[in-house]
A and B are shown apart, each in its own frame.
Chain A
Amino acid sequence: MKNKDRKVKRLLAGPYVIWAVGFIIIPLLMIFYYGLTDKEGYFTFINLAKITTPENLKSLGLALLLSLISTVICLILAYPLCMVLSNLKVNKSSFIVLIFILPMWMNFLLRTLAWQNLLERNGIINIVLGFFHLPALEIINTPYAIILGMVYDFLPFMVLPIYNVLSKIDKDLIAAARDLGANSVQTFLRIILPLSVPGIISGVTMVFVPALTTFVISDLLGGSKILLIGNVIEQEFKQGSNWNAGSGMSLVLMIFIIFSMALIAKYDKDGEGTAF
């Protein structure tokens, strides 16, 4: 009987195994293979080293900087909002959360293209500004536009986990802190903030990682002038047809992400941050 149960369970796991092997493990192995070989198929570290050329290092640094700034802005925008939301009645707050999540249901590319149109030199924003005789906004094709795009695209990923964790905090805990003499600032610093750390970590991860590797946002809002590490890798694959160099740099980027995850996991005892 028990054996049969186990067989059935194994059978049910089948599709997932096929998925994992076919779409996760094999592609990863291929990246490793390409990253660690040259065009003739000989083992080499040269692809990994490609990241150290001055222009590639600059792209990596810029990508790190912009994704870091975007993450911080998302956090600053999302946290107070979630604080307010978590104190509202459930129907009300879930409606507002829905409004913030709604853009996520539209195509990501479409939203970024929309920003391109809005920000263009002769775009809608500048037409409106011109109408009021205000100076034109010239941020398209600058890092600022990229940050704007990142924040806009990834903000929901910051809002959701923080809102979840804040709304799960027992209201009695806050009452207890007040009861024991803490004022609202002390209550926030000693109770609410520490208890929301898993949500913050989750949100930071979900914003930082896609922002670090994006090439679409920098492509559309940064023109072709600003190259992030994502763009460099994309160009290696598409224009240069150099799968080996692209894979090599992907591997380096992966190491960066794994390293930051490990750093985060150190501070995340509940393991909620690894949800991504």
Chain B
Amino acid sequence: MSNKLIDIVNVSKSYGENLVLNDLNLYIRENEFLTLLGPSGCGKTTLLRILGGFESPNTGKVIFDGIDITELAPNKRQLNTVFQKYALFPNMTIADNIAFGLKIKGKSKSYIEDKIRYALKLVNLDGFDLRMPDSLSGGQQQRIAIARAIVNEPKVLLLDEPLGALDLKLRQDMQYELIRLKNELGITFVYVTHDQEEALTMSDTIVVMNQGNIQQIGTPEDIYNEPQNAFVADFIGESNIFSAIMVEDKLVKIQGVKFPCVDTGFGKNKPVDAVIRPEDVDLVKPKKGLMQGIVTSLIFKGVHYEMDVMANGYEWLVHSTDMFPVGTEVGIKVDPFDIQIMKKPESEDAEAVSIEE
């Protein structure tokens, strides 16, 4: 793997009594698309602002390319930020906006003109040079904000929920656009979002954060398939989370019924959290299932049906292409490798919280 470009060492930040970042350690590799993912108030934006130089941590260091930049002013850093609300300068044309950083650096006129043309082409907005920012749509303004940042050839691009204000269709288009940009430019992206789908689509590495703590670091596949705790499982995608008992290796008791699984090493009769993704629940004839239940709701979702199945006092969320009408008695079966066993959280920080989305 490529080198560490940014190293965040023991960074803490609090505003008064309110601890926003709790002794955080994280490194970012060169050429990586790293996403900080978490609910609002988890500290992800604060961490990004510390990287950009707009906040300084109470304790800890930020190492950039081997040099401590913790106290370096934002204008001296080799990274650029794309702000959530674009922050285009309303008193300048698009061309002047893009040229801003280059003019400050005293680049030659022809160099600047070339760069403007190149950047506008890159974000598919040729010919917008002389327009004013407020005559552009949100998506166009966002792309100009990106163009304005990348003409400075930063080593790292920081993006603070850049797609948050766009509508769904545009957001999806921009996701592909961003991936393309990153591949074309070959620079590191640090991306902040609360949208798990965005994070899964674009990232090389996802850092799940909650209440100032890192919950899990991993590839999108890791995060989705093997959440390390109930918070991550709940935040990424939909899931059924059970308070379960690990009876012995490879056997877990969920809602009073023993399910074979593949996890080992939790000890005997230990309380654990068990996660089963809705698409991993198989509905079969009542007698063939490990547990019996009754379908209580059925919604057509396009690709699949979403069903709620009441069984042993728990409402299971099930995604399936097979349809079972409300009131049908069904059996529930789960393949052993589809059950994800996790340690119970030790602190309240890692507790699963309900997410308001």
Chain A interface residues toward B at CB < 8 A: 170, 172-173, 175-183, 186, 190-191, 194-195
Contacts and interface: CB of A to CB of B under 8 A. Distances in A.
A179 B81 contact: yes
B148 A180 contact: yes
Interface stretch (B86-94, B115-123, B242-250, B301-309): B86-94
B8 to A, nearest CB: 19
A271 to B, nearest CB: 15
B52 A181 contact: no
Interface in B78-122: 80-81, 83-85, 87, 89-91, 100-101, 104-105
14 contacts: A170-B87, A172-B84, A175-B74, A176-B81, A178-B53, A179-B53, A180-B104, A181-B101, A181-B152, A182-B100, A183-B73, A191-B89, A195-B90, A195-B91
A251 to B, nearest CB: 37
A-B interface, 5 closest residue pairs, ranked by CB to CB distance from nearest: A180-B101, A172-B87, A176-B87, A178-B74, A181-B104
Contacts of A186: 104
Contacts of A177: 89, 100
B75 A178 contact: yes
Contacts of B81: 175-176, 179
Contacts of A173: 87, 89-90
Given A178-B75, A180-B75, 12 more contacts: A172-B84, A172-B87, A175-B74, A175-B81, A175-B83, A176-B81, A177-B100, A178-B73, A179-B54, A179-B149, A182-B75, A182-B101
B87 A180 contact: no
A181 B54 CA distance: 13
Given A180-B80, A180-B152, A181-B75, A175 B87 contact: yes
Contacts of B149: 179-180
Interface string B45-84: 0000000111000000000000000000111000011011
Contacts of A170: 85, 87
Nearest to A195: B91
A170 B133 CA distance: 14
B252 to A, nearest CB: 49
A176 B89 contact: yes
Chain A contact surface mostly: helix
Contacts of B89: 173, 176-177, 191
A72 B104 CA distance: 30
B311 to A, nearest CB: 50
Interface string B245-265: 000000000000000000000
A271 B104 CA distance: 30
B85 A179 contact: no
A179 B91 contact: no
Interface string B142-166: 0000001100100000000000000
A180 B81 CA distance: 8
B233 to A, nearest CB: 34
Contacts of B75: 178-183
Contact of A179 (B80, B84, B90, B105): B80
A111 B119 CA distance: 59
A190 B90 CA distance: 11
Nearest to A182: B104
A175 B54 CA distance: 7
Nearest to B90: A195
A194 B91 contact: yes
Contacts of A183: 73, 75
A118 to B, nearest CB: 43
Q: Which of A172, A179, A182, A190 has the most CB of B within 10 A?
A: A179
Given A179-B75, A180-B104, A172 B91 contact: no
Interface in B223-277: none
Nearest to A197: B91
A179 B148 CA distance: 11
B186 to A, nearest CB: 21
A30 B80 CA distance: 63
Q: Which of A180, A181, A183 has the most CB of B within 10 A?
A: A180
Contacts of A194: 91
A178 B104 CA distance: 10
Q: Which of A176, A178, A190, A194 has the most CB of B within 10 A?
A: A176
A128 to B, nearest CB: 45
Nearest to A191: B89
Contact of B74 (A179, A190, A195): A179
Contacts of B90: 173, 195
